[in-house]
Structure 1
Amino acid sequence: MEKRAFKRSYYHVRNEEAALDIVQESMMKLSEHYGDKPANELPMLFQRILSNCTLDWFRRQKRHNALFSHLSDFEAPGDDAGDFDLLEAWAGPDDGERAQSAEDLARRSQTLRDIEIEIQALPPRQREAFLMRYWEEMDVAETAAAMGCSEGSVKTHCFRAVQALSKALKAKGIEP
Structure 2
Amino acid sequence: METPLHRQLDFPQIVRQYKRGVLALAYDLTGNAHDAEDLAQEVFIKAHRGLSTFRGDSGIYAWLRRIAVNTHLNRKRKKAVSHMRLFGDVSETDTWEGAERPPDSGAEATDTRSHIDRALEQLSPRERSAFVMRHYQELSTREVAEAMGVADGTVKSLLFRATTKLRSSLHYLRQES
Normalised by the length of structure 1, the TM-score is: 0.68
The amino acid across from 2:39 in the alignment is: I
Residue equivalent to 1:44: 62
5+ residue gaps, structure 1:
71-75, 94-104
Q: Which residue of 2 aligns with 1:6?
A: 26
Q: Quick one: structure 1 residues 141 and 123, their matched pair in 2 at CA, closer, same or farther if it must change by over 3 Å? A: same
Distance 1:119 1:42, change over 3 A: same
Distance 1:27 1:7 in 2: 15
Cα deviation, residue 57, structure 1 = 2.0
Aligned sequence identity (%): 26
Show structure 1 runs of 4+ deviating over 3 A: 15-19, 35-38, 58-67, 76-80, 172-176
Q: Residue 138 of structure 2 aligns to a residue in which SS?
A: coil
The TM-score with structure 2 as length reference comes to 0.68
Query: Equivalent of 1:84, from 82, 96, 101?
Result: 101
CA offset digits 1:59-110 (Å, max 9, x no partner): 443565577x38xxxxx733542x324xx6xx5x6xxxxxxxxxxx222221
Residue 136 of structure 1 deviates from its aligned partner by: 1.1
Q: Which position in structure 2 is the counterpart of 1:34?
A: 51
Matches within 5 A, 1:1-176: 1-11=21-31, 16-34=33-51, 41-61=59-79, 64-65=82-83, 69=86, 77-81=95-99, 83-85=100-102, 105-173=106-174
CA RMSD of aligned residues (A): 3.1
Higher helix fraction (1 or 2): 2
Task: Measure, in 2, the Cα distance between the counterparts of 1:159 and 1:65.
Answer: 28
Question: Is the CA contact 2:69–2:147 (under 8 Å) kept in the aligned structure 1?
Answer: yes
Tell me the number of residue pairs that the alignment of Structure 1 and Structure 2 aligns.
150
